[in-house]
């Protein structure tokens, strides 16, 4: 699978990945995804799997910090290391842009995901009450580069 920068022509596939990876309340709108594709402060990376996308990564950059906005992997190909590949790309891009820290938020209900981030060097730094919706909490994670 080829890892490359996302393009506006990927919008429908990115929307499909969002729908297969996140509950409706957590999905980015098509407008927000288009904004991410064209913003100088964001990067979108995709894993090409023939005519479809197997995964995507959206990064947001601030001085010295990179926030992982989302990592989405097609449910049909989960468990094959694509999420880890996208996470490594996030770290490479953050270092290339001079960042010293990575941040992200993850659904507090998804213990497997929380453990996955910890296994990849992230530390839970704060529980965010009602982050996604009422009684739908998240954990903020951080990792020094």
Select the more confidently predicted residue: 26 or 8. 8
Averaged confidence pLDDT in the chain? 96
Q: Which of 41, 42, 55 is nearest to 10 (CA)?
A: 55
Question: For residue 66, what are the β-bridge partners?
Answer: 61, 102
Residues 4-15, buried b or exposed e (16+ Cβ, 10 A)?
A: eebeeebeebbb
pLDDT above 90: residue 25: no
- Tell whether pTM > 0.75: yes
Q: Are 96 and 59 in contact (CB under 8 A)?
A: no
- Whether 73 has a pLDDT exceeding 90, the answer reads yes
Q: What is the mean pLDDT of residues 51-68?
A: 96
Instruction: Give the closest residue to 86 by CA, choosing from 35, 42, 45.
Output: 45
Within 10 Å of residue 35's Cβ, how many Cβ atoms? 12
């Amino acid at each position: 699978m080829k890892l490359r920068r996302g393009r506006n022509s990927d919008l429908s596939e990115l929307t499909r990945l969002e729908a297969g990876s996140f509950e409706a309340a957590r999905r980015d709108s098509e407008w927000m995804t288009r904004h991410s594709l064209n913003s100088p402060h964001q990067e979108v990376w995709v894993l090409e799997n023939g005519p479809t996308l197997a995964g995507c990564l959206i990064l947001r950059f601030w001085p010295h910090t990179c926030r992982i906005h989302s990592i989405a992997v097609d449910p049909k190909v989960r468990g094959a290391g694509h999420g880890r590949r996208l996470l490594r790309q996030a770290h490479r891009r953050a270092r290339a842009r001079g960042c010293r820290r990575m941040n992200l938020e993850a659904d507090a209900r998804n213990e497997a995901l929380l453990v996955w981030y910890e296994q990849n060097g992230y530390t839970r730094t704060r529980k965010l009450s009602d982050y996604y919706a009422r009684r739908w909490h998240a954990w903020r994670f951080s990792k020094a580069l």
